[in-house]
Chain A
Amino acid sequence: MESLFLLVPLSIALVFGALWVFFKASDDGQFEDLEGPALRILHDDDTPDR
């Protein structure tokens, strides 16, 4: 049971870490377009033009 006294604060730190990562990603525009990048990766320049 004593381990919880370490694990619970750790989990709180993790949550705040996750929030920080989320805000950074959101600032970089990661969530602006959720469909485009998935489509784009399929059509790279390596498709030969004939």
Chain B
Amino acid sequence: MSALPQPLACFHCGLPVPEDARWHVPIDGIDRAMCCPGCEAVARTIVDIGQASYYRERTGFAATAGTAADLVPPELRLYDSDPLYSADGTEQAEAVLLVEGIRCAACVWLIEHRLLKIDGVTAASLNVATERLTVRWRQDAVKLSDLLQALRTIGYTAFPYDAARHSEQLRKTSRTLGRQLFVAGLSMMQVMMYVAPAYMAEDGTLDADMAALMRWASLLLTLPAIVYSAQPFFAGAWASLRARVLGMDVPVALGIGAAFLGSVVATWRGSGDVYFDSVTMFIFLLLASRYLELLARRKAAGALERMQHALPASASKLAGWPARDSTVVPAAALVADDHIAVKPGEAFSADGVIVEGRTAVDLALLTGESVPQPKGPGDAVPGGAVNTSSAVVLRVTKPVADSTLSGLLKLVERAGAAKPRIAQWADKAASRFVLALLLFAIATLAFWSWHDPARAWPVAIAVLVVSCPCALSLATPSALAAATDSLLAKGILVVQPHVLETLHRATHIVFDKTGTLTTGRPTVQAVHTFNDMDSATAAQLAAALEAGSLHPIGRAIAAHADALPHLVTWHAEDLLELPGQGLEGTVAGQRYRLGNASFAAMLAGSAPPDTNAGADATTVWLVSQGRWLACFAVSDSLRTDAQRTVDLFRSHGKQVVLLSGDRQALADQVAQRLGIGIALGDCLPEQKLAYVQRLQAAGAVVAMVGDGINDAAVLSAADVSFAMSSGAALAQVHADTVLLHGQLGMVGETAAMAAATMRVIRQNLAWATVYNIVAIPAAAFGLLGPWLAGVGMAASSAIVIVNALRLRAR
């Protein structure tokens, strides 16, 4: 069973081992190479707890440990105090955890054994299908965070999953639907057996008693299907009737009901046709397609949930300000006049005013402004902004519930309420068909009552059964389910069922700029050097100065230098940072400054030389005493697939629009490079929303691709929306579609799939229409026997489903 590692592959995770790697762990007496300290730590832990047999039993490599093996961040401790995960009164607590990185059978074994070895854990059981781990433990012996940490040390990331609130509903729905499907299937198979003799026997050879027995048996076995399995159709029909529309469920319910009642009457009287086989088959086929659709969407929802259940927002509260002792508290527990410390790289948990420290604040998430703003004591900072340069102390002015972030959320809700509902249009069209069908059935009944009363009732039922809008009602959902599943495999989560339909009709594709068309991270675009400096040396000097910096521009320069061949490694000393201006430090005995032009000029002692760095770039200057050395042009770079995606939509004749919260000049510049005709900058969330609503009022169907909280409202208002998964979790919740791997090109993939799906749906609808046009009149003229009606109905739906399944193969 054991998987033999390739030479030079990490024994734990299977990734290639770097040549200069020095990490190894003795496992079963053999020294095994590891690719990183994370894997080494995890493997050592597994050996140390006496579970090395994991490596013998496994059938696949583990997930790479990387950062998972880090110490538990203080945020995990928050879960200990969360009453949701504590059983009240008893000593036992139970929690459901979502576990990532389960690869094979040995993982299940390893995880369960690891947890059961902890003192105080009484039960641990992992559901492989849902990746959910149920743990029970004694609260006096062990804490939830200890369990999470234990899982992290063996290389699995787990986080609490609020089972009570979320999963129960979903589980019940799918369990009920599964049971209904099973009952319908069993009932269908049995009824087929009982009706077979009636179809097979020559006229008159089946004696009356036997025929009656078979009919009564079929009736009895159809009952569970009608009473239990067909509930969703009757409930749906009743709901749509109460809302005074004729939905798709109405003819379904009516067809089932009429065919069943007609058959019951025929059975009771002992004469006439019975349709029990058609009824059960119809129920089964319809339920099967609904079940498939539910499974596909549950998979999609599961992945979304995992993102939303990432660590809770937390804050370091300085309870005794101006004393410095901080405690980590949930952000939701903050109230006005609390003091919190915000480290560089962290997000501000609440709206507040800076009381100590100067820093640069990144508002990209809230306004789309890509350049960090300098803020000092007395300046207000909105919650959700990111602290980019140095630690500050903030006095909270509003509780989190009233913060800027919550305000944006309310905007989202308002936009959501005004959303056009395409689905209703489809239902309206179907209701006309249904109405026409019902009138036709009544007319048929009336005609035959006058012409030949004995055949009136069978013929009317034949019309309803043969026209059973089976093919019509399966045409759309079966194609959508197959397409959704296929997209999920490519990392595209379709959250709303209307996405493909609407995307295909879209006339305008609106892109956000920062984080969508661009990567959202600054990168070094160009290096200009002066006074005989070469650009590699300049980059490495600058990287040495920025070594410890968390500022995004500093990181960009460090990343740029890392990519160049290393000659010497410098270390900076006597570092001095002036927030919003730059850094000063000594490298190899020489004093350097790295920062904006005026800051650098103070050391250089002259005006900066001319460069033609574009207006869109932030310039960072490197100087030594009296000499200008280099200028780095740093700006947000375009995604590699941005050009391809924009071209694709333009070639399909769709209007591409760029809508950005960033400055107009930057928006224009990006639009010009990509060939986008319309670019609007300086847009507040309200203005973006208004722009999209104006387009919609003029009859446009708008698809919006965005990222970031400031987009959430407009994503909600657009007819169909996409969110990049690398963006803020909030935006994803309100988007119809989430691109899991953060690849913009996937929007194009989705559009192609939408076109294919619409083609299949059109084929399906065309087939269903042709079938109905031929079959309904034939039934109305009394030409179709019950078995022919049944076969026609089954074949028409089978063709529709097989056609839809072609989409999976794409």
Interface residues of A (CB under 8 A from B): 1, 4-5, 8-9, 11-12, 15-16, 18-19, 22-23, 26, 31-36, 39-40, 42-43, 47-50
Contacts and interface: CB of A to CB of B under 8 A. Distances in A.
A39 B129 contact: no
B117 to A, nearest CB: 11
Interface residues of B, number: 34
A8 B212 CA distance: 12
User: Chain A's interface: helix, strand, loop or mixed, by majority?
Assistant: helix
Contacts of B104: 39
User: Chain B's interface: helix, strand, loop or mixed, by majority?
Assistant: helix
B28 interface: yes
B745 interface: no
B213 interface: yes
Contacts of B183: 19
Contact of B105 (A5, A42, A48): A42
A22 B214 contact: no
B472 interface: no
Contact of B186 (A5, A15, A31, A35): A15
B197 to A, nearest CB: 9
Nearest to B214: A8
A47 B53 contact: yes
Given A33-B128, A35-B129, A49-B50, A12 B217 contact: yes
Nearest to A31: B178
Interface of B: 28, 50-53, 57, 104-106, 108-109, 112, 126-130, 171, 175, 178-179, 182-183, 186-187, 190, 194, 210, 213-214, 217, 220-221, 224
Given A1-B210, A12-B217, A23-B179, A33 B53 contact: no
Given A4-B213, A8-B194, A32-B171, 16 more contacts: A8-B214, A11-B217, A12-B221, A15-B187, A15-B190, A19-B224, A26-B178, A31-B175, A31-B178, A32-B129, A35-B128, A36-B128, A43-B105, A49-B50, A49-B52, A50-B53
Contacts of A11: 190, 217
A47 B127 CA distance: 22
A39 B186 contact: no
A5 to B, nearest CB: 6
Nearest to B213: A8
Nearest to A38: B105
Contact of A47 (B57, B210, B214, B220): B57
The 3 A-B pairs of least Cβ separation, nearest first, read A39-B105, A43-B109, A36-B128
B572 to A, nearest CB: 50
A10 B175 CA distance: 29
18 contacts: A4-B210, A8-B217, A12-B220, A12-B221, A15-B190, A19-B186, A26-B175, A32-B129, A32-B171, A35-B128, A36-B108, A39-B109, A43-B108, A47-B53, A47-B57, A49-B50, A49-B51, A49-B52
